[in-house]
A = this chain, B = another copy of it.
Amino acid sequence: MNKYFVKVEVKLKPLVLDPQGKAVSSALNNLGYDEVTSTRIGKLIELNIEGDSEEKVKEAVTEMCNKLLANTVIEDFSIHITEEINA
């Protein structure tokens, strides 16, 4: 069993309105940062996971995203896996 560090980015789909991002954008403009034209907010999920191979871990994490971590009706996700060196 190897140890893997997995980073999952969950973002709203491009066509879905993001009121939280709009609010942050306005707040930044009000603070004087007029150069900010738009903002979108997503989730970053970091998992420590054990597995036999990167492919199997990717498969399992994709399943977790579809079942629990992301709402695939309105959200997209991307998965980045790094293997940790076994001590």
Contact = CB atoms under 8 A, between A and B. Distances in A.
Interface in A7-37: 9-11, 21, 24, 27-28, 31, 33, 35-37
B69 A24 contact: yes
Interface size class, chain A: 20 to 34
Contacts of A40: 45-46
Contacts of A64: 28, 31, 33, 36
B48 A38 contact: yes
B39 A46 contact: yes
Given A28-B47, A33-B64, A35-B50, 17 more contacts: A11-B46, A28-B64, A28-B68, A31-B68, A33-B60, A35-B49, A35-B51, A36-B48, A36-B49, A36-B64, A37-B48, A39-B45, A39-B46, A40-B46, A41-B46, A42-B44, A42-B45
